[in-house]
Amino acid sequence: MKTMQKFSERDIALVSLFTAFVAALGLVPTVMLASGVPITAQSLGIMLCGTVLGSIRGFAAAGLFVLLVALGLPLLAGGRGGLGLFVTPSAGFLIGFPFAAFAIGWIVENTKSVGPFWATAGASIAGGVVLLYIPGIFGMAFAIEKSLAEAAVLALPFVPGDILKAVLAGLVTSSLLRMRPESVISRRI
Amino acid sequence: MISLISPVKTRFHDVPAGPKLLVLCFFTAVLFSADSAATHVSAVAVVGLLYILSGSRFLIAGLRALIPLWPFLAVIAAWHSFTGTLVSGFEIAAKLLAAVGLANFVTMTTRLDDLLGFVQRLTSPFRKSRQGLSGLDLAVALVVRFTPTLARKGQALTLAWKARSTRQPNWRIVVPFTLTAIDDAEKVAEAIRARSRG
């Protein structure tokens, strides 16, 4: 995998600005679900990191976001940040963000023969819902001492919202491809 | 500067980031492996004492930082009331409170550049040259600089939508917002190149 020193100035700027973009999306009003994790447009931002920037840059942008949250920047929705978040029941989702972005980007890069909407929405469901929920459910089960099945039940209310966000990620990325194809790096690789 | 560091300087601010993070790792590992309620309650008491020793303003800021934990604690209380295992629910809540409390304490008493320095030292064996370090520094600086800027631009887009339509802004606003981020990135890259950086 490429590391930061192999990134060009443009790559570093894109990765950083996408991290800032994900943080800015957290300022959109949130909806709190039963298990206490807020629904925000930030997970849509993580999906867009993968669909727009591709696997490596998407991983770097989402990874930088998680690193800065860990270092104490209040970048998560509601001005949250700090190491404390990594021992809460939603820690698994947070840690899973870079891997979800990588998986989404990888799928988009490798499905160029598929239509842009179906490729990006499908990739967002696979990476941003299916894959992301694996560490999410494990983290929740570990933090609140529940079985994986019980944790999965607690995580279930998020699934419809996240599928909706995956569809939105597909719509946004296909709109970008129509309006300005060169801006979607994942389809140029 | 956006950061969660406490505005009140305490004696714990002078402790380097490395030892604080090491203690946090050890404390969390012990906490999550211990089964006794006494250990969990003692841990809450120790963390509470750290906040109290740091003064009332720090304590209030610390309690405010714990607000995101309350929904989880409410779910745990509801679940264990429903299953009739309130003692077990209390233990889990105490464990979470102690772990999150100490992690927030470390965040509040450690400057961002100290934590960043620690991450750089930790990752230095994996980097081939010093150029990589400046790449991370630059990326962090850009995020800190551009998060408020992009948030303002997002709000301006929302206002522009509201001025032109009777409907509430929907997902379509994310398209120009994404393009704004990409355009800003191109301009920043251009500026970095112009300064012969990288």
Q: For the segment B161-179, what is each residue's pLDDT rounded down to a tens digit?
A: 888 888 777 778 889 999 9
- On whether the CB atoms of residues A89 and B70 are closer than 8 A, the answer is no
Domain limits, chain B: 11-121, 129-194
Q: State ipTM.
A: 0.86
Instruction: Give strand pairing partners of A80.
Output: A76
Total domains, chain A: 1
Given a cut of 80, is residue B41 above it in pLDDT? yes
For residue A100, CA distances in Å to A22, A74, A94, A96, B184 come to: 14, 21, 10, 6, 25
On whether the pTM is more than 0.95, the answer is no
CATH number at residue A29: 1.10.1760.20
Facing B100 at nearest CB: one of A64, A87, A175: A87
Q: Across the interface, do A86 and B116 touch by the CB < 8 Å criterion?
A: no
Residues of A in contact with B146 (CB under 8 A): 16-17, 20
* Residue among B182, B152, B176 nearest A18 (CA): B182
Cα nearest neighbour of A61 on chain B: B139
Which residues of chain A lie closer than 8 angstroms to B127, CB-CB? 3-5
State residue A2's pLDDT score.
45
- B12 vs chain A: nearest CA distance in angstroms? 16
Question: Chain A: residue nearest B65 by CA?
Answer: A80
Q: Are A107 and A56 in contact (CB under 8 A)?
A: no
CA of B97 vs chain A CAs: smallest distance (Å): 9
- Distance in Å, alpha carbon of A150 to nearest chain B alpha carbon: 10
pLDDT at A4 over 50: no
Instruction: Quote the minimal CA–CA distance from B59 to chain A in Å.
Output: 16
Mean pLDDT over the full length of chain A: 87
- Cβ–Cβ pairs < 8 A, chains A and B: 207
pLDDT score of A75 more than 50: yes
Q: Per the CB < 8 Å rule, is B139 touching A21?
A: no
Q: A82, B146: Cβ pair inside 8 Å? A: no
Whether residue A82 and residue B119 make contact (CB cut-off 8 A), yes or no, is no
> Smallest CA–CA separation between B102 and chain A, in Å?
7
d(CA A14, CA A57) in angstroms, rounded, equals: 8
On whether residue A76 sits in a domain, the answer given is: yes
**Which residues from chain B sit within 8 angstroms of residue A71, using beta carbons?**
112, 115-116, 119
Examine residue A189 and state whether it is found in any structural domain, yes or no. Answer: no
Nearest Cα of chain B lies from the Cα of A159 at a distance, in angstroms, of: 18
How long, in residues, is chain A?
189
Q: Which chain B residue lies closest to A20 (C-alpha atoms)?
A: B147
B125 — pLDDT class (breaks 50, 70, 90): low
What is the pLDDT confidence band of residue A76, given thresholds at 50, 70 and 90?
A: confident
Question: Could you tell me if residue A188 is inside a domain?
Answer: no
A172 vs B174: CB contact, 8 Å cut-off? yes
Owning domain of residue A131: 4-183
Task: Answer whether residue B123 shows pLDDT above 90.
Answer: no
Is B174 within 8 Å of A41 when comparing Cβ atoms? yes
Residue A123 in this model has a pLDDT that exceeds 90 = yes
Q: Which of B143, B144, B195 to mutate to test the interface with A (most CBs of A within 10 A)?
A: B143
Chain B residues within 8 A of A72 when measuring between CB atoms = 3-5, 107-108, 110, 112, 115
- Least CB–CB distance from A86: residue in B101, B103, B127: B103
Answer whether residue A54 shows pLDDT above 80: yes
Pinpoint the alpha helices (H) of A33-130. 42-53, 55-70, 91-109, 116-125
Say which residue the tokens 């006794």 belong to.
Answer: B36
Nearest to B28 by CA among B85, B112, B104, B114: B104
Note the pLDDT of residue B126: 56
